[in-house]
Amino acid sequence: MSGVLPEPSPTHYPALVTCPSGPLVIPTSPADAAAPLRLSLIIPTYNEGKNVGELVKQLTALLDPVIGDGYELIVVDDDSPDRTWELAAQIALTTPKLRVIRRQGEKGLSTAVIRGWQAARGEILAVIDADLQHPPEVTVGLFNALAGQVDLAVGSRHVAGGGVSDWSFARRILSRGAQFLGLLLLPGVLGRVSDPMSGYFMVRRSAIAGAPLSPLGYKILLEVIGRGRIRSIAEVGYVFRERTEGESKVTWRLYPQYLRHLVRLRLTTPAAARFIRFALVGLSGVVVDMAALYFLSDPRSLGLGLTRSKVMAAELAIVNNFLWNDAWTFRDLVGGQKGARLKLRRFVKFNIICGVGLALNVVLLNLQFNLLHIDRYVANLIAIGAVTIWNYWFNLKLSWRGSSA
Ligand code: GDD
Ligand code: MN
């Protein structure tokens, strides 16, 4: 009879931690609040048996002199066929700073990172790829950046000291194309860092605790910037190295996932709610404009000249919109700029920007109607849409000086 060895019981490995479950929310205090650490670095793995040992060795050699006992490494393995989790748990027998989660029944890079953060004991939460494509030395720079005032430190391929080692032209184009598309859809998220696709970063727990995260696919950093309370960001350059062992898990499936993630963030982050408030205020302005035009120009009421009436009606609508936007749409940004003089200044800027918007509206309508022969009502709708975005963007940046789009 051939002897079948029983599966080694997980109890053989003291480093194994039960995978957190439930909603993807980071707790405000560290998992073991009695002994909080300064840093928890998550290493997500899928079939990284050939890399994880070397990475852990390099990381401890780098971090021990800087942080001493104040940090932990957590491998989150999605029950890899090559049993990465078991190898990591064995390494942990001699590297007590390493803990291991063998995750079963749930898959995916972004959620693996969040599960790791939920089990983390650190005040700073971080992530690094397991395959040595992220140079381990950069962790020290990222950690030091967070010792200052910033809430988030991102390893970036697109700042001084950064780059990609040997990417094909096609891969560069795909990567930049994905970034550009994201920038169009979510300028307030992707525009804040030079490398929003980075999977190498550290964030302060306090900046993301309590926020319900709902990531899709690979780009966990988008979720952190989109839903976290990130006031300031530092970037540290790094060169994305070539893989020498194991295989990349990037497939074509990830591109539609990325798109869905962008759209979901667009629709569910506070920035989206702000734009909806702005658009609703705009609609109220249309009502004010119409009513005023009636009272001023209609022969059955004041019967003033049409142009004079329209200018006054538009101005009334602008005043109406300003008051609502100041009190509602941008109320959180008014915080430090209270006082009548500052309010007047915001109003003047709002007035100018909307005035330019009005001129733009007329020009766009004419171009579409006369040059492109688009139906006048369709053309007007397009012009109104474009001018709403114009008004929103410039007023956000100039009148209320907000950073979120
Ligand atoms: N637990 C878990 N579950 N880990 C995963 C999974 C998963 O489903 N998929 C991938 N990983 C792990 C890999 O084992 C590796 O450690 C890391 O996540 C990155 O996976 P790769 O497949 O090597 O990705 P990449 O090299 O193409 O992309 C990386 O670089 C990008 C820079 O453009 C990732 O780090 C991206 O996040 C990063 O943006
Ligand atoms: Mn990789």
SS (H, E, C) the chain: CCCCCCCCCHHHCCCEECCCCCCCCCCCCCCCCCCCEEEEEEEEECCCCCCHHHHHHHHHHHHHHHHCCCEEEEEEECCCCCCHHHHHHHHHCCCCCEEEEECCCCCCHHHHHHHHHHHCCEEEEEECCCCCCCCCCHHHHHHHHHHCCCCEEEEECCCCCCEECCCCHHHHHHHHHHHHHHHHHCHHHHCCCCCCCCCCEEEEHHHHCCCCCCCCCCCHHHHHHHHCCCCCEEEEECEECCCCCCCCCCCCCHHHHHHHHHHHHHHHCHHHHHHHHHHHHHHHHHHHHHHHHHHHHCCCCCCCCHHHHHHHHHHHHHHHHHHHHHHHHCHHHHHHHCCHHHHHHHHHHHHHHHHHHHHHHHHHHHHHHHHCCCCHHHHHHHHHHHHHHHHHHHHHHHHCCCCCC
From 268, 285, 311, the end of a domain falls on 268
Residue 235 CB–ligand 1 contact under 6 Å: no
| Choice from 156, 249, 261 to test ligand 1 binding pocket (greatest atom count within 8 A of CB) | 249
* CA-proximal residue: ligand 1, atom 17 (nearest): 129
Q: How far is the CA of 75 from the centre of ligand 1 (A)?
A: 13
Residue 199 CB–ligand 1 contact under 6 Å: yes
Identify whether residues 133 and 86 lie together within a single domain.
yes
25, pLDDT greater than 50: yes
Residue 4 lies in a domain: no
Identify whether residues 69 and 162 lie together within a single domain.
yes
**Domain of residue 327, residue span:** 271-400
Tens digits of residue pLDDT in 258-284: 999 998 998 887 777 888 899 999 999
Tens digits of residue pLDDT in 95-114: 999 999 999 999 999 999 99
Residue 114 lies in a domain: yes
The alpha carbon dihedral of 300, 304, 307, 312 has a sign of: negative
Identify whether residues 228 and 299 lie together within a single domain.
no
Identify whether residues 92 and 187 lie together within a single domain.
yes
Residue 112 CB–ligand 1 contact under 6 Å: yes
Identify whether residues 280 and 264 lie together within a single domain.
no
The predicted pLDDT at position 4 comes to 59
Atom of ligand 1 nearest to the CA of 112: 1
CATH number of the domain enclosing 76: 3.90.550.10
| Choice from 48, 77, 218, 258 to test ligand 1 binding pocket (greatest atom count within 8 A of CB) | 218
6, pLDDT greater than 80: no
Residue 129 CB–ligand 1 contact under 6 Å: yes
Query: Comparing 86-95, 99-108, 161-170, 345-354, which segment has the lowest mean pLDDT?
Result: 161-170
Give 208's pLDDT tier (boundaries 50, 70, 90). Answer: very high
Identify whether residues 218 and 361 lie together within a single domain.
no
From 268, 297, 327, the end of a domain falls on 268
Identify whether residues 42 and 131 lie together within a single domain.
yes
The predicted pLDDT at position 9 comes to 56
Q: Tell me if 325 sits within 8 A of 278, measured CB to CB.
A: yes
Q: How far is the CA of 320 from the centre of ligand 1 (A)?
A: 50
What average pLDDT does this structure show over 41-50? 98
Residue 7 lies in a domain: no
Q: How far is the CA of 163 from the centre of ligand 2 (A)?
A: 15
Give 175's pLDDT tier (boundaries 50, 70, 90). Answer: confident
Identify whether residues 229 and 294 lie together within a single domain.
no
